Structures are given as C-alpha cells and as structure tokens.
Structure 1
Amino acid sequence: DVVRYDALLDHFEMRNGVEGLEYIVPVETVKAIWNCREIAAASPRVGAMIGPTAEHADIAREVGFEWTPEGEESLYLRSRILLACRESGLHALTALWEDLENIDGLRAFATHGRGLGFRGMIAIHPKHVETINDVFSPSDKDIEFYQGMVDAYEKAASDGVGALRYRGLHIDKAHYDKAVGWLERAATITNH
C-alpha cells in the first residue's frame, strides 16, 4: 500500500511542483501491527506512525479489546509501533483520546504516552490541541535541566572524567547522549 501511494504522490508532486510530502500512517489492523516494521521502512515518505488506542476505531474491533482510560489494553500494540518508529527514525505518535469533555483524562493519557516514548499525539477535537501541545512540548525547566547536564558532562569529560554527579544524579556518556538528543528534539519544537 505504501509503495502504491508513493506512485500516486510522486505523480501529484511532479504535476503540482510540490516536494517533500510525508505520510502519517495510522496502524489499525492486526496485519499492520504485525508488519509495522516493514511499513515503517517501506518508503522514505513515511514520517510518522500512530500507535492505536481508540475505543471505537478499527483496531478495537479487530483486536476485540475493552478500552480503559489507562490504555493498558493497547499498550502492547502502541509499543510495537513505538519501537518500529525508533528503529526507522520516524516520529512516534500515540493515537487519540475520544472523550471530548474529559480534558484531565486527556492530560493523563498524553502524559503516560510521553512517558512511554511517544513524541506527539493525534487530536480528535480542537479543544484538545492546547493540552496535547502542553504535554508534548518541552518546558523551560526541562530545557535548563538537560542543558545543565550537557554542560556538566562536557566540562567533566574535558577534565578526563567520564562519570559525575549532576543535581544528585549519576550521569555518564549514555545520559549525556540522551540529553543531547533531547535538546535537539526540543530545539525543533521550540525553535530555541
């Protein structure tokens, strides 16, 4: 399917003088869940994939899960998509929150998704956008923390030290690498 869409999109781009369009691929069938790695790597146009969560969508019907606000029933499904995205360098999105009025539930669900490693979420309604942006956007406090970690590690490394304490935490090269990657992602979101 991805290859077929590529042919159509190539034609559209050439005909209209457009370039660089990417796909956001929803994964809502059992077959797609099983083949998510192949889908993620099927085309350079695949820019993001969505880990399924919806109570009333195709994936709920296909798998037969009973939805809960905590999302445990879709954790495995979303985790497969998350790992496929990480392996292929794609943007991992967690799917939507259907309860339009329950903003506190949305915030909790989005925060849990961010904690799992998702870097965004699909909004089903405009009133959800502010909360989703708030959860998935780095705060100034987070930026200051990770920049401080990078600075502390680089200073220690220049003195020949490979591990140190930073704000009561043990940090080493792995922590530094995560902080650098986190700051790079934050810069693309916040334009810092």
Structure 2
Amino acid sequence: MIARPRRSVLYMPGSNSKALAKASTLPADALILDLEDSVAPDAKEAARGQVIEAAKGDFGGREVVIRVNGSHTPWGPDDLIAAAAAGPDAILLPKVDGPGAIMLAARVLREHGAPDRTRLWAMMETPNAILNAGSIAAVAADPASRLAVLVMGLNDLAKETRARLTPGRPTMTAWLANCLVAARAHGVDIIDGVYNDIKNLDGFRAECEQGRDMGLDGKTLIHPGQIDICNEVFAPTETEVGNARAIIDAFALPENAGKGVISLNGRMVELLHAEMARRTLAIADAIAALSRSAA
C-alpha cells in the first residue's frame, strides 16, 4: 500500500522571500507556496517568480504545492502555466466550483509540460463546491484529471455563507462531512481548513483532534508554531501501530488462512480491520521515511 503523510500542510506566502528560504527547514509534511490570498495584488507577479524559483529547491522529501490565483483573475492563467512548467508535486486550484475547473486545469498542465507526477489539489471554499463535492471528487477516476486532494477553505465558506466560525465548528461540520464522504468515495485525500487563532494552542489541538476523529488526513496551517501539534495528532500512536501489526500478524497465521473473521485478544476482528491496519502501518512507515529524508 502506497501512502503519503499529509498531516501538516503549511501555507507559505509567495511574496516573503525569507519565509520561502526557511521552508525547507520546517517539519511540515507538505508546503503550499502561495500566490493567492497571502499575496497583495501589486506583489503577484514578483511573487510568481520567487515561488517558481523556490519550487526547484530541495525540500527533503516534503510535498511541494503551488497555490495559483483563480482562472478568473488577471494573474491566474499565467500562474497556472508557470506552475505547470515548474513541475511541483502539486498545484492547488482555488475557488473550485465544479468538475470542469479540474479538467480545464489538467489540460493546461498537459499542454505546458507539467511532469506526470504533478497532481492537482482543489480548494473546497464556495457554496457550489459543497453542493458539487461528489462530482468534483469523482473526476479522480479519470487519470487525466490528476486530482489527488481536496482542501477545505472554511474562512472563505464563512464569508460566502455568513456562517460563523465558532469553537467546535457546529456550523461547518456538515460541510466537512459532506466533502469527506465525497473524497473517500472516490479515493482522494482531504485536508482540513486553517485555525486562525495562532496563539491558542489548546484550541488548535482540539480542532486537530476533531478533524482527525472525523476522518480527515491532516490540516492546513498558517504558522510554523502549529506544526508539531498537528503532526502529533494526525500520526498513528504507538498503540495503534502495535495493534495494527498484531492484526496483520494474526491474519497471516496458517490457522487463519481464508478466514473473514478471527478472534484476537478476546475481540472479533474482520478483514476490514486488516485493511485499516495496513493503512495505519503504511502511514507510519511513510512518516518515518519522511523524517529520515528531511533530517
């Protein structure tokens, strides 16, 4: 099983050269080099040049993602062409309203030399994105779409819907769950939105735990000080890894060959638990490999 950890996904302002230079030293699983929200209009073109150059660097195995401006903006089309040519691990598309936006972007990537490994990520941050989550995620069935990840944009959703972002996110959990089910139905990862109060680490931890318990793969971050907590919460615990190994070892015993259900330490264990255990070990192994390559 191939797994890629995306516990912590840190936004890095594309106009901040010092932040970009520091990016390769941070222990985030993925870095989003941002050309959109964090960059002022008069700095967009300069930021594009900085980000394209930065994306060519060595990030020690971390996933490198370029977030472009929307196709409806003056900078979006040129951003996408430049990002395609730079060949990062992924390009993050903002304001995705439906599956057509994914397929149009994928065509631009093909036409402008993006390597096959460059994936597309989609921001889920508009009412139409929530309404169309299933059809957006479904395009992942077509390899030409390159779609790999959905990213929640709850600040934009709050703005567009006038719903308030309050502790526990009661106004947002239905939308998170809707996108989560769409992602799981079509085999793509899904990353939680940012937590705005960077000094409230207890609140941040609670929101990470909420996202993890809902089934999300990780969380987008706006400050390096959030990385360690996020990595801890979204990683399998030692107990979970130990239990996963025990389940796989038990199903491998000759006396359990061909069985769909076995008893392990007084508990009923099914093949579905073995599948979950394999993913737990794959993620744990991938985290360990990333730590080694980033050291």
TM range (shorter): 0.7 to 0.9
TM-superposed CA distance for 1:160, in Å, is: 5.8
Q: Distance in 2 between matches of 1:111 and 1:12?
A: 40
Q: Which amino acid aligns with 1:34?
A: L
Q: Distance in 1 between matches of 2:189 and 2:260?
A: 34
Instruction: Tell me, yes or no, if the aligned pair for 1:51 and 1:77 is still in contact at 8 Å.
Output: no
Q: 1:29 aligns with which of 126, 133, 141?
A: 126
Instruction: Tell me, yes or no, if the aligned pair for 2:248 and 2:277 is still in contact at 8 Å.
Output: yes
Matched with 1:2 is 102
**Superposed counterparts of 1:150-189, under 5 Å:** 150-155=248-253, 157-158=256-257, 162-166=261-265, 168-189=266-287
Query: Do the aligned partners of residues 160 and 118 (structure 1) sit closer, same or farther apart at CA in structure 2, a change above 3 Å counting?
Result: closer
TM-superposed CA distance for 1:84, in Å, is: 1.1
Q: Distance in 2 between matches of 1:83 and 1:136?
A: 18
SS at match of 2:217: coil
TM-score by length of 2: 0.57
Query: Do the aligned partners of residues 158 and 127 (structure 1) sit closer, same or farther apart at CA in structure 2, a change above 3 Å counting?
Result: same
**Superposed counterparts of 1:126-165, under 5 Å:** 126-155=224-253, 157-158=256-257, 162-165=261-264
Q: Distance in 2 between matches of 1:173 and 1:91?
A: 22
Matched with 2:194 is 96
Instruction: Give the structure with the larger strand fraction.
Output: 2
Instruction: Tell me, yes or no, if the aligned pair for 1:51 and 1:79 is still in contact at 8 Å.
Output: no
Instruction: Tell me, yes or no, if the aligned pair for 2:151 and 2:190 is still in contact at 8 Å.
Output: yes
Instruction: Tell me, yes or no, if the aligned pair for 2:236 and 2:280 is still in contact at 8 Å.
Output: no
Query: Do the aligned partners of residues 173 and 159 (structure 1) sit closer, same or farther apart at CA in structure 2, a change above 3 Å counting?
Result: closer
Q: 1:13 aligns with which of 95, 113, 116?
A: 113
Percent sequence identity is: 24
RMSD over aligned Cα atoms: 2.2
Count of matched residue pairs: 185
SS at match of 1:73: coil
TM-score by length of 1: 0.85
Query: Do the aligned partners of residues 50 and 36 (structure 1) sit closer, same or farther apart at CA in structure 2, a change above 3 Å counting?
Result: same
Matched with 1:50 is 151
TM-superposed CA distance for 1:112, in Å, is: 1.2
Gaps spanning 5+ residues in structure 1: where? none
**Superposed counterparts of 1:67-146, under 5 Å:** 67-146=165-244
Instruction: Tell me, yes or no, if the aligned pair for 1:94 and 1:120 is still in contact at 8 Å.
Output: yes
Q: Distance in 1 between matches of 2:279 and 2:226?
A: 27
TM-superposed CA distance for 1:3, in Å, is: 1.8
